Amino acid sequence: MTSVPGIEKVLIANRGEIALRVAQTLRRLGIASAAVVHAEDKGSPAALAVDEACAIEGETPVAAHLDSDQIIRIAQEIGADALHPGYGFLAENAAFAEAVEAAGIRFIGPGADVIRLMGDKIESRKFVGDAGYPLTPSAAEEDDPATFAARAAEIGFPLLIKASAGGGGKGMQIVHDASELSQAIDLARSEAERYFADDRIYAERYVVAPRHVEVQIMADAHGNVVHLGERDCSIQRRFQKLIEETPAPAMERSLRNRICEQAVGIAQAANYRNAGTVEFVLAPDGEFYFLEMNTRLQVEHPVTEMVTGVDLVEEQIRVAAGEPLRLSQDTITFTGASIECRLCAEDTSEDFRPAVGPLLLVRPPEGPGVRFDGGISQGQDVTTAFDPMLAKIIVHGADREEAIARARKALSETVILGCTTNGEYLERILAHPDFAAGRVETGFIPGHADELAAPGLSTDDRDTILAAAALSNRDFVERVDAIPEPQASMGAWQN
Amino acid sequence: MGYDFELAGTSHVVHPVHVPGRGRLSIEGRGFDAELFPGLVPGEHILEIAGRQERIFVAVRGDVHFIHYRGRVHRVEAVNALERARRAADPGGGAEELRAPMPGTVVEVIATEGAEVTAGELLMTIESMKLQTAITAPHDCRVAEIPVSMGATFDQGDVLVRLETPDETGDDSSEENAEKEKSK
């Protein structure tokens, strides 16, 4: 007997820490759990945590996890009532969500139509703008070529001239003041033609030192939508989040309320269902603009769980089963502060290059207010087959200061040996005075590159490390014992 | 007989020193009382050095030692005197290693061990961060060893191919034997 009527068994179509995390909630709810497992993950904590580990095959491990036909077939074979996609892989694939539902299995997520709408960056912006929510001010040349320059200047400087068909920064011009405008427009147009064979261009406000702020949404099939507060995810490298926290630091209550209310409005307009996240760009002047909506559980959802006490995966399952939300906006309370650090196999001194190697020793952090969401195990080989994220260290404190202190302690106590990680680097970010002061923005990491570099070693530390290495080296220790007495008494200083 | 331990790109000479009743070693010619005791949990050790006690975690893989100390991880590679002598006797020429420029996987191995190859000849194709790279022979030589196989993953700096110039084989082994004799 499960505690969610209608859901007896759930297939988790994911791996690693998120598969393990979903399995833990299923167990607590008395729901049978299954997961698709590629040979590469055989014996992983997630594979061991579920009641049924179902083998999936593919040319590469990632290809196996993207094989929707195979995954749906497995779900049917094992008699799953519902499927949890986690994040990544097929989580935001509208055709997959549709196919799962068509196979008579509940997709634990929003409807395929909303996934499709929000998955199209241009369509979703148009939808949100038409619904009356703020977008980065922009002007398209094709709307009225004669007035384009004037409409662009109205946006204010600095601004960007971009190719409509563009991407990856190609054909993009930053314009700092009006005197550069006409030349930049000509240049952008010719580059757009050259790179994309499409000379349509548009102007957009260039937000300097923006913050990335997002809002957690939960909605049911009965029209109820609530928010569970915001998260600041400004600490990023290569457009990937590294540290997330809630509440967003250095933000006035009125601004926070406005952002959260707008997110709820956007979800309502989209007729959204299940867990979702509305992402905004926040400018230093307090203006904020819709960026995109993620139609799934986020990697960083635990910080929201820490301050609200809500298990978001449980709410997702209940909503998927058709239950009305148990939460109402008035009953959701926020206690203290929470920070998540993404522990990744990468070399921060080599431009965050992914690292590989065997996990010779894994020792998660412990202590009050510390949560470790990891799908790794000692002895496992870290390869480039999957995403470099190994685990998430999440802490909760009475306030931000305590959360930072706990996160720093947890990071320095986490031991992962054999594969290079970014653990020390994350600790240096948390230790930075600008981070402590809440002065975060998406350019934080490149802007503080020098201060965040690994400090040198003192002679004492160097000696300690060398002695530890020598005394744990079998040959070296045997040699100590093998030295004959007369020579030993002379010492080795003579070399 | 000392050991070279490489830490953060610098080589340091560490000697074992036997003094009855206590552990002793020298680092760059300076002597220390030092002993390593197992801790309470796997990997944990207490290092007593120069009167201080330090809690560290250690994991060893071959010649590589991973040391977790005060929140930081250090990679220390041991190069014993034998290896050092071999390297010294081999100034540039002779044995040579082609190392991985970044972590990745082996797409295809073309060369075979023992094969004579000419400068520029394709030895292997690797893929790193979705980019394929050809590993070619830097000059005319012989493929001594290919320690990786197709589909294998490797880390930055791992040896992909060992090369040798045909003349200098054989020297290594005799030298190695001589060293072994000495150390007995």
Min Cα separation B1/chain A (Å)? 8
CA–CA distance, A253 with A264 (Å, rounded to integer): 17
Min Cα separation A343/chain B (Å)? 14
Nearest to B72 among A413, A424, A479 (CB): A424
User: Which pLDDT score is estimated for A195?
Assistant: 82
Q: Which residues of A touch B61 (CB under 8 A)?
A: 358, 360, 418
Q: Which residues of A touch B31 (CB under 8 A)?
A: 491, 493
Q: A371-380: per-residue pLDDT in tens?
A: 999 989 999 9
pTM of structure: 0.83
Half-sphere exposure of A379 (CA within 13 A, CB side): 5
Nearest to B57 among A353, A417, A483 (CB): A417
What's the average model confidence in pLDDT over A18-28? 98
Q: Which residues of B touch A474 (CB under 8 A)?
A: 60
Q: B55-112: per-residue pLDDT in tens?
A: 999 999 989 999 999 999 999 999 866 566 655 555 455 578 888 877 888 988 999 9
pLDDT bracket for residue A276 (50, 70, 90): very high
User: Which pLDDT score is estimated for B182?
Assistant: 38
Min Cα separation A466/chain B (Å)? 7
Choose, out of A341, A346, A466, A495, the residue to mutate when testing the contact with B (most B CBs < 10 Å). A466
Contact between chains at A466 and B3 (C-beta distance less than 8 A): no
Q: Which residues of A touch B6 (CB under 8 A)?
A: none
Between positions 434 and 493 of A, the ones with CB within 8 A of B are 454, 457, 461-477, 479-481, 483, 485, 488-489, 491-493
Phi-psi region of A46 (alpha: psi -120 to 50; beta: other; left: phi over 0): alpha
Contact yes or no for A339/A244 (Cβ under 8 A): yes
Quickly list DSSP for B110-131: ---TT-EE-TT-EEEEEEETTE
Nearest to A470 among B25, B41, B75 (CB): B25
Contact between chains at A468 and B41 (C-beta distance less than 8 A): no
Catalytic residue flag (residue A258): no
Q: In this predicted structure, which of A85-89, A352-356, B146-150, B172-176 has the lowest mean pLDDT? A: B172-176
User: Which pLDDT score is estimated for B151?
Assistant: 86
Is pLDDT larger for residue B55 or for residue B23? B55
- Using DSSP bridges, classify how beta strands A288-294 and A225-237 pair: parallel, antiparallel or unpaired: unpaired
The CA-to-CA distance between both ends of chain B, in Å, stands at 12
Task: Using CB atoms within 10 Å of the CB of residue A303, give its burial: 0 to 12 exposed, 13 to 18 middle, 19+ buried.
Answer: buried
User: Which pLDDT score is estimated for A168?
Assistant: 58
Min Cα separation A493/chain B (Å)? 6
* A159 pLDDT higher than 50: yes
* A328 pLDDT higher than 90: yes
Average pLDDT, rounded, for chain A: 93
Q: Which residues of B touch A486 (CB under 8 A)?
A: none
User: Which pLDDT score is estimated for A472?
Assistant: 94
Nearest to B68 among A415, A473, A483 (CB): A415
The CA-to-CA distance between both ends of chain A, in Å, stands at 75
Contact between chains at B66 and A417 (C-beta distance less than 8 A): yes
> ipTM score here?
0.87
Nearest to A424 among B27, B71, B154 (CB): B71
pLDDT bracket for residue B181 (50, 70, 90): very low
* Angle between helical axes of A94-102 and A68-77 (0-180°, round to 10): 30
User: Which pLDDT score is estimated for A451?
Assistant: 97
Is pLDDT larger for residue A471 or for residue B157? A471
Enumerate residues 6+ apart whose C-beta is below 8 A from A60.
A385
Integer CA distances (angstroms), A90 to A232, A253, A295, A392, A397, in order: 25, 36, 11, 21, 34
Q: Which of A21, A296, A371, A406 is catalytic?
A: A296
pLDDT bracket for residue A177 (50, 70, 90): very high
Q: Which residues of B touch A358 (CB under 8 A)?
A: 61
Contact between chains at B41 and A493 (C-beta distance less than 8 A): no
User: Which pLDDT score is estimated for A428?
Assistant: 98
Q: Which residues of B touch A356 (CB under 8 A)?
A: 103, 153-155
Helices (H), A270-365: 301-308, 312-320
Residue in this structure with the two tokens 């929510």, named with its chain if needed? A133
Neighbours of A397 (CB within 10 A): 20
Residue A381 near chain B (CB below 8 Å): yes
User: Which pLDDT score is estimated for A262?
Assistant: 98
Token output for A386: 């999957």
Residue A340 near chain B (CB below 8 Å): no
Q: A42-83: per-residue pLDDT in tens?
A: 999 999 999 999 999 998 899 999 999 999 999 999 999 999
What number of residues does chain B have?
A: 184
Degrees, nearest 5: CA angle A449-A453-A457: 160
Q: A434-491: per-residue pLDDT in tens?
A: 999 999 999 999 999 999 999 999 999 999 999 999 999 988 888 776 655 544 444 4
Contact between chains at B54 and A464 (C-beta distance less than 8 A): yes
User: Which pLDDT score is estimated for A478?
Assistant: 80
What's the average model confidence in pLDDT over A423-428? 98
- B134 DSSP β-pair partners: B125
